[in-house]
Structure 1
Amino acid sequence: MERWNNRIAVVTGASSGIGAAIVRHLATRGLVVVGLARRVERVEALRNEVDAAAAKLIHGLQCDMRNEAEVVAAFKKIEAKYGPVAVLVNNAGIGRHSSLLAEGSSHDARDIIETNVLGLVNATREAFRSMKANGGDGHVFLINSIAGHRVPSVLSIPMNIYSPSKFAVTALAEVYRQEFLSMQTQVKITSISPGFVDTEIITSEMAEKLKNMPRLKADDVADALIYCLQTPPHVQIHELTIKPVGEKV
């Protein structure tokens, strides 16, 4: 991890759950972490959950990942204030569990695609531009899902276009691997696909239906990311699947 000490990491969707855990873990290991979120005050509150040294390394910046102009402006602010981006964690993602795709309006589907796919694409473009211009190394993470490899049953919990959006993330990981290589950079790409994770995205209705299902903690996913980040420069973990013991899907 020494090569990342005091370098800049950007985490999207950093206000809660997996994103918040990743912010804490990165700052504890000496990276300067900028968390992008709509609820920026919750990112700043993460300073209270780490030691004093790590607290000084956590910064929040308000950004709606659905808004391309906000994403571009956020990365410009980060570079101007903190320096070039070395690590990007594309964690921002939403699901809509209120309507079937075959019956619902396009509003939910649009929100999911704009956040889970286009927001990721815009953030990766801006981070990669910074990485390429400043030494040509770095690490881009895509927080994916097992739903991006296999469509879960939608009979009990409608998922709308969530699973297709995560299939897109799986494909994007390979697209980026080839593109980063073709531009002769040393930028790594890693897709992390967790199983069921206990986070705020689980509604009370869902919690009742899934109460007996094994689950991961957000810190488990953050631990997996740190494992990938600390690999030697010549090692790239392209895809990592992490499930709780006992998960059947």
Structure 2
Amino acid sequence: MERWSGKVAVVTGASSGIGEAIVKKLVGHGMKVVGCARNEEKLKKFASEINGKGKGEMHPFKCDVKSEENILKMFQFVKEKFGSIHVLVNNAGLAHFAASLLAGKTELWKDMLDVNVLALSICTREAIQLMKASNVDNGHIFNISSVAGHVISSMAPFYSCTKFAVKALTEGLRQELRAVESHIRVTSISPGAVLTDFGFRAVPGLREKNVDLGSIMEMLKSDDIADTVVFALQAPPHVDVNEIIVRPTEGDVGKKLAPLLQKKA
């Protein structure tokens, strides 16, 4: 990881969970990390906790990735402050498990498409254009996807749709980069159940029913996913780690969660 020390990274969805863990890990390895999210207060608090403890530094930036204008402002900030970017982690994502295909609300479908697919694509475009403009040909793009992008989730088929799109976008990007003889690498990381607030936001009924996700099974931790980012980054330049799937050893939390929710209904 020493070759990334002093280099610039952008991490979306950086105010909590997996994004927060990735920022902390990259800063710990000496990188200058622009962490973006909607909650500016949380970002600044997080930055104050980790800055000054090593060579790396976090730069908080308020950005709602559903707004292309916000994204463009963020990359303009990166260009003006650092002149370039070397790593992008498209971590921001959301799910609405109540948005079924039979009766889901259009605004919830659009919400998932805007964040999981369009924002990811816009951030990727802007990052690569800045890399090219600053002659960075050894950058790295990460898409934090989901096992739901490999196996259709019966609990959230539309969410699965957006993550299948991420899988296609990741491979499509790799092919486009190779076609122009670029050495920018692309990695998709697909976590299974991770113990964060993501599940509570995706299924509001979990809090209403006082479901303790941690007691159902031993789930993945945010640091586990951050470690996979480091694993791919530290691979030699000639090694392109395209896809990583990380699951809890105990299996699929969805199968254990469904009967529990029905029981408590």
Per the normalisation by structure 2, the TM-score is 0.87
Alpha-carbon RMSD: 1.8
What is the alpha-carbon distance in structure 2 between the residues aligned to residue 132 and residue 110 of structure 1?
31
Residue 242 of structure 1 corresponds to 246
In the superposition, relative to structure 1, how do residues 205 and 240 fare at CA in structure 2: closer, same or farther (>3 Å)? same
Q: Residue type of the partner of 2:149? A: G
Residue 199 of structure 2 corresponds to 202
Residue 14 of structure 1 corresponds to 14
Are 2:41 and 1:35 equivalent residues in the alignment? Answer: no
Q: Residue type of the partner of 1:213? A: M
Q: Quick check: which has more Rg, 1 or 2?
A: 2
* 1:84-95 to 2 correspondences below 5 Å: 84-95=84-95
Gaps of 5+ in 2: 254-265
What is the alpha-carbon distance in structure 1 between the residues aligned to residue 122 and residue 12 of structure 2?
11
Residue 45 of structure 1 corresponds to 45
Residue 122 of structure 1 corresponds to 122
What is the alpha-carbon distance in structure 2 between the residues aligned to residue 200 and residue 182 of structure 1?
39
In the superposition, relative to structure 1, how do residues 70 and 48 fare at CA in structure 2: closer, same or farther (>3 Å)? closer
Structure with the higher helix share, 1 or 2: 2
How many corresponding residue pairs?
245
What is the alpha-carbon distance in structure 1 between the residues aligned to residue 245 and residue 9 of structure 2?
22
What is the alpha-carbon distance in structure 2 between the residues aligned to residue 212 and residue 245 of structure 1?
13
Residue 147 of structure 1 corresponds to 148
Poorly superposed stretches of 4+, deviation over 4 Å? none
Q: Provide the secondary structure at the position in 2 that maps to 1:103.
A: coil
In the superposition, relative to structure 1, how do residues 112 and 77 fare at CA in structure 2: closer, same or farther (>3 Å)? same
Are 2:227 and 1:226 equivalent residues in the alignment? Answer: no
In the superposition, relative to structure 1, how do residues 49 and 247 fare at CA in structure 2: closer, same or farther (>3 Å)? farther
Residues 111-141 of structure 1: CA distance to partner in whole angstroms, max 9, x if unpaired? 0000000000000000001112223220000
CA contact (8 A) 1:24 1:46 kept: no
CA contact (8 A) 1:14 1:36 kept: yes
State which of 178, 184, 189 in structure 1 corresponds to 2:181: 184
Q: Residue type of the partner of 2:129? A: R
Per the normalisation by structure 1, the TM-score is 0.93
